Amino acid sequence: MALKLIIGNKNYSSWSFRPWIGLKIAGIDFHEVLIPLYEPGSAEEIRKYSPGGKVPILIDGDTAVWESLSILEYLAEKFPKAGFWPHDARARALARSVASEMHGGFMAVRNHCPMNMARKVIKRELTPAVEANVRRIDTLWTDCRNRYGKDGPFLFGRFGAADAMYAPVVSRFHTYAVAVSATSRAYMDAVMALPAWHEWYAEGVKEKWVLPQDEVDWPTIVRA
């Protein structure tokens, strides 16, 4: 039986994007169920899969796993040959650390620059708190690339769980024309060149649902 991934809107749901792109790039078969967020009945529909009432949720038979990072960890255990985490113990420790830092931090970037795949790329002025988040992410990406990126264009060479966790940040930095170092820009370009990225993007920009809280130009909706 194929895995089932419960996700939210592809234009906005950064949490859903993480395990989705991880599954796609690992070549793992799964069936997706999209439940548009904040629509009448959406919360009740999501709770059919998990009492937490939030996406994403991975269903594997009678096992339900929620939270992006927990799903990626579950997949790493179930599919050890997929390479979600680096083989080298030191690289793996760093990958888990940076993935956890993303899962629990960078609230200024998240709030000020919500993921919005369909928004036209227009630079947004950043607050000092957001700029501090950007500097930390830029430094983090550069460190991972310099130390462990010799075997490919991603944080630890080949695409893995850490990259999946930062994929929505790549989208945010692109959408709001956030300035980063040349190393980080090259990393972003590599992520956005992935076929899986283009598949998610193409489906996200076609969605008709609008979430005002994720439209920073509201009441104007700016589209490419």
Dump pLDDT digits (tens) for 88-140. Answer: 999 999 999 999 999 999 999 999 999 999 999 999 999 999 999 999 999 99
Give yes or no for a contact between 185 and 173, defined as CB atoms under 8 angstroms apart.
no
Q: Place 51 in a pLDDT band, splitting at 50, 70 and 90.
A: confident
Mean pLDDT of the region 197-209: 97
pLDDT per position as a tens digit, 145-170: 999 999 999 999 999 999 999 999 99
Give yes or no for a contact between 184 and 138, defined as CB atoms under 8 angstroms apart.
yes
Q: Which residues of 110-126 are buried (b: 16+ CB within 10 A; e: fewer)?
A: bebbbbbbbbeeeebeb
Rounded Cα–Cα distance for residues 84 and 82 (Å): 6
So what's the pLDDT on residue 53?
Answer: 87
Rounded Cα–Cα distance for residues 89 and 77 (Å): 16
Entry pTM: 0.95
3-class state of residue 178 by DSSP: coil
Domains (range + CATH), the chain: 3-82 (3.40.30.10), 89-204 (1.20.1050.10)
Q: Place 42 in a pLDDT band, splitting at 50, 70 and 90.
A: very high
So what's the pLDDT on residue 224?
Answer: 84
Residues forming beta bridges with residue 57, ordered by sequence position: 6, 66
Largest CA distance in the chain: 49
